[in-house]
Structure 1
């Protein structure tokens, strides 16, 4: 597969009940587009190098989750249900009548809710490194340490602390991707943990039986947070699973060609 240029990405906004929602897209061919949802506290740029690759064969759309990136940031507590409300509003506004759905980490949890709601409107579902949330995870949510929260300090040392929180997920030479994480996290620094909190309180196990879409669950081998969930999703959904050739938590940025190839292959299956 050739390497598409990221300057083919088009960006825009659509209105929603929550305010404007920001998205980026590539391509336009094919009957069924692909909608991609990112992890917390990222933005569409998590798919910066995936989007144009998928766009070579399909209309590929990556949105900024409500409350993150350049999308509206309404008051009140975030929840997976509200994130899904906004994603559905964006799909409606863009005329995505039937589409393939891809979600990474938090984006995968949002994708579960969206697929359970929309039924046959979701042509296929790809859950990437998606945590499996059950009663035990919800019960112990308050005991889990914060992921990205740092207290701002006058000398700016909190910036290095935030960088180091995620540094081990990235290999040497991947500093550009880690810098994109920093930009996204700093954009929502005062609410940076709310996406993680929303995930941990979501009644996923109660929603999984409503999913009818053909589903694939994938994960990077280095992502020990989410790798055990593959077996849980296989048991709950009877879905296929796949371990990628490498990578860690930010695998769409680390292996964009492989990730895009899987998206295209899975969405093309009859």
Structure 2
């Protein structure tokens, strides 16, 4: 059974969902999602360990923040780990969640025992330059007739199965109008300065049908010490689409 809670932290209350008991694994979602991205994964990992999916600060039902940054998101991750007295833990992140996981693992190498980076971009100088002039991913101008809602839907439609689009749009509207701020935070992050601080084993996971992140898999893996990689054939942008395969890969890595 998945249960829910709020943890009091110096940054405000952080909402989380959890399932199972034992060694903890903390799951971080992409932008602009919530814990719901791991709805299917939680009970699968929760069969052998304590699986926790949090709402990143500024998203879902967690406290809003004054300024979005990867560093601020990582503050929330480490604050939740302390509030729940998790001790040593495995950290898993998907897309933006993977970037946040990098910062948390670099900042607290004594805390993070294993790291899974799913569909995670390598954000170096080259990537920052490329992203600087790139069009917005989810930001749309609000219109009186509500047509911005269909525009938000249509922007993600090529990359999401129909049954998952509603869940995406619900999460996006929960943070409106800050729907693009997480993407901007990723684009400003200096990841190349943090990768060498990671001390634990790392698994980089790529979803072959994710046109944005999959080309980054090899580049990221070679930049990380103690890393291996795995590919989910047919995996897409939304983690829910490959929940069973993803949970299996993560479980095997955590048990290795």
Cα distance in structure 2, aligned partners of 1:62 and 1:115 = 17
Give the secondary-structure state (helix, strand or coil) at the position aligned to 1:52: helix
Give the secondary-structure state (helix, strand or coil) at the position aligned to 2:108: helix
1:242 aligns with 2:233: no
- How far 1:234 sits from its partner (Å)? 2.0
1:43 aligns with 2:34: yes
Partner of 2:125: 135
Question: Which one of 200, 203, 210 corresponds to residue 216 of structure 1?
Answer: 203
Question: Which one of 242, 252, 255 corresponds to residue 265 of structure 1?
Answer: 252
Q: Answer yes or no: is the 8 Å Cα contact 1:132–1:229 preserved in 2.
A: yes
Q: Answer yes or no: is the 8 Å Cα contact 1:123–1:214 preserved in 2.
A: yes
Q: Answer yes or no: is the 8 Å Cα contact 2:120–2:216 preserved in 1.
A: yes
Question: Which one of 100, 106, 109 corresponds to residue 99 of structure 2?
Answer: 109
Q: Answer yes or no: is the 8 Å Cα contact 1:91–1:97 preserved in 2.
A: yes
Runs of 4 or more consecutive aligned structure 1 residues displaced over 3 Å after TM superposition: none
- How far 1:245 sits from its partner (Å)? 2.3
Give the secondary-structure state (helix, strand or coil) at the position aligned to 1:42: coil
Partner of 1:17: 10
Partner of 1:4: none
Cα distance in structure 2, aligned partners of 1:139 and 1:162 = 25
Q: Answer yes or no: is the 8 Å Cα contact 1:162–1:182 preserved in 2.
A: yes
Partner of 1:121: 111
Give the secondary-structure state (helix, strand or coil) at the position aligned to 1:192: coil
RMSD of the alignment, in Å? 1.1
Cα distance in structure 2, aligned partners of 1:205 and 1:44 = 27
Question: Which one of 49, 66, 71 corresponds to residue 58 of structure 1?
Answer: 49
Q: Answer yes or no: is the 8 Å Cα contact 2:41–2:247 preserved in 1.
A: yes
- How far 1:255 sits from its partner (Å)? 1.5
Q: Answer yes or no: is the 8 Å Cα contact 1:132–1:233 preserved in 2.
A: yes
Partner of 2:158: 168
- How far 1:39 sits from its partner (Å)? 0.2
1:200 aligns with 2:187: yes
Q: Answer yes or no: is the 8 Å Cα contact 1:36–1:101 preserved in 2.
A: yes
With the length of structure 1 as denominator, give the TM-score of the two structures.
0.92
With the length of structure 2 as denominator, give the TM-score of the two structures.
0.97
Partner of 1:5: none
For structure 1, the residue ranges without an aligned partner over 5 or more in a row are 1-7
Question: Which one of 219, 230, 240 corresponds to residue 253 of structure 1?
Answer: 240
Instruction: Number of aligned residue pairs: give it.
Output: 255
In terms of mean alpha carbon deviation, does 149-158 or 62-71 score higher?
Answer: 149-158
1:27 aligns with 2:15: no
